[in-house]
Structure 1
């Protein structure tokens, strides 16, 4: 990649984030709240993409990581009056440590087995938070009245936007390095990567640790935006489905794709709500995702890239 292209990409990021920063002056509070959810979904989808999108190790247990971050910060702040400036960083560290402890053995298996093991961890977490120390976790009812970071839709919007922007640009820059190339190579042919002398276990562990850290950050900030947490919502299969579909629909292994997919799904679900207030709307976006995946497995990112290439005479 030439320096000119690098500056061009940075310009795109600046235009995107700058345009997003102007939205509070152009849209209402209801739309801002929708975008806030889109920002957090983008964080979750990008964190899933770091491991699963790059290496091909499809995880069905991502809410497990998000839940650890959310519950840790919520319990520390609500039960023990720990300031948010401490509870959130602690939650991120706990998420990364717990993720490594539980998932490291799973990284030695592949394919369907890895997906099933990660799904089992999510279900295990769902059951444990309801029966172990409900005086801390709130049991089946969860915890309400959790301290919020700040009040007001506009203020929360800028926090979520800043968090999403920093994470997106950091992950995007990291994946442009040789490390990102090595992780992508694992997804294409892990045996060949091992044959080249690289330690694939360390590479996968690094990707998982980064993904877990981002999920922990997103989970901790998200719970302090909502002001409450409940296991039924956090570990719901629709939540998992939405994260994965956002990443695949937007374009896995691109970072930018999951970000765009998150916004597309959030607004699609929101606009379908008046017509399909129940879970039926998930069938609609599931069908859209299936059709797009059949048409272009690399997602919206590739559709836009090819369209731009045609308009510019083949230059991408």
Structure 2
């Protein structure tokens, strides 16, 4: 592992900021609504990390990530609400279903490249949206979705601590995984797949492993999110804006870095919240899209590269 000092500095700063946030709210320095915004940012960060593991490393751009998130969310919601399975068991089962179901459906798509892969994943997301409405609506809730789902926490602070703990565990685990030989192989796969294949490594196996890790994170985050919200609606789950928000968060934060998508998720979430009083409608997405475009043009490697460069300059001056 090539662990530089600024990596530890970044992780230390992130963990400290996350843990101090409730204290700042208690002191009145921030509103209690900030915690709820942070919770949404944590779940978006996990979705962006999930996308980054697959697309940010291998270069296989997925437009259907809510397909995986939806399997995890619907899986635990149906198991716990309709069949009375304890949440402690329904969440792991939903994650397992996400990994198996997603791999069976999308593994053939990993044999194609470029825009074809992106279109196939987008088609699967739309197919999932249609299926949950027409197949067994007594289980899925049809077009109305599901409500009255058991929640895991009560109160903004408890929900925040759960979301932050889960997000930090996922982010740190994926970051460490990407610093192994497996992560290096995925990066090489994104640079030159033919060279990786010529070196004797199985590109299909590497992509399948990356997909499994991505599906695990997506299913886990989707399952916990539905037990935070207590409800589930198909249109909100499979909205095209959700896809773009996940991708933009990963790209402007810094794709292929794990920590970058976390930064991008928090940046986007708070940007949308700050714009809400001025632009309550969909115009907010136009503004954040313009901001993301300018930032991406200024630094294609994202916010992570900007912060990394700043820390290097400070260290050089010191």
Q: Do the two structures share a fold, i.e. TM-score over 0.5?
A: yes
TM range (shorter): over 0.9
**How big is the shift at 1:182?**
0.6
Q: State the alpha-carbon separation in 1 of the partners of residues 258 and 265 from structure 2.
A: 11
CA separation of 1:93 and 1:163: change in aligned 2, threshold 3 A: same
**Given the alignment, which residue of 9, 16, 19 partners 1:18?**
16
Query: TM-score when scaled to structure 1?
Result: 0.96
CA separation of 1:127 and 1:2: change in aligned 2, threshold 3 A: closer
Q: Which residue of 2 aligns with 1:245?
A: 248
| SS of residue in 1 equivalent to 2:316 | coil
1:236 aligned to 2:234?
no
Q: State the alpha-carbon separation in 1 of the partners of residues 294 and 68 from structure 2.
A: 30
1:211 aligned to 2:211?
no
Q: State the alpha-carbon separation in 1 of the partners of residues 202 and 238 from structure 2.
A: 33
| SS of residue in 2 equivalent to 1:208 | helix
CA separation of 1:165 and 1:186: change in aligned 2, threshold 3 A: same
Q: State the alpha-carbon separation in 2 of the partners of residues 292 and 15 from structure 1.
A: 23
Q: Which residue of 1 aligns with 2:28?
A: none
Tell me the alpha carbon deviations over residues 11-62 of structure 1, each in whole angstroms, 9 at most, x when there is no partner.
6424421331121111232100000000000000000000000000000010
**How big is the shift at 1:288?**
1.1
Q: Which residue of 2 aligns with 1:120?
A: 123
Unpaired runs of 5+ residues, structure 1, are: none
**How big is the shift at 1:2?**
5.9
1:202 aligned to 2:202?
no
CA separation of 1:286 and 1:12: change in aligned 2, threshold 3 A: closer
Q: State the alpha-carbon separation in 1 of the partners of residues 86 and 239 from structure 2.
A: 29
- Greater CA deviation, 306-315 or 285-294? 306-315
Query: TM-score when scaled to structure 2?
Result: 0.95
Unpaired runs of 5+ residues, structure 2, are: 26-30
| SS of residue in 2 equivalent to 1:149 | coil
Tell me the alpha carbon deviations over residues 223-243 of structure 1, each in whole angstroms, 9 at most, x when there is no partner.
000000000100001111100
Contact 2:2 2:179 in 1 (8 A): no
Q: State the alpha-carbon separation in 1 of the partners of residues 278 and 77 from structure 2.
A: 34
Q: State the alpha-carbon separation in 2 of the partners of residues 244 and 302 from structure 1.
A: 17
RMSD: 1.4
1:273 aligned to 2:271?
no
Q: State the alpha-carbon separation in 2 of the partners of residues 263 and 286 from structure 1.
A: 15
**Given the alignment, which residue of 146, 150, 153 partners 1:147?**
150
**How big is the shift at 1:314?**
8.3
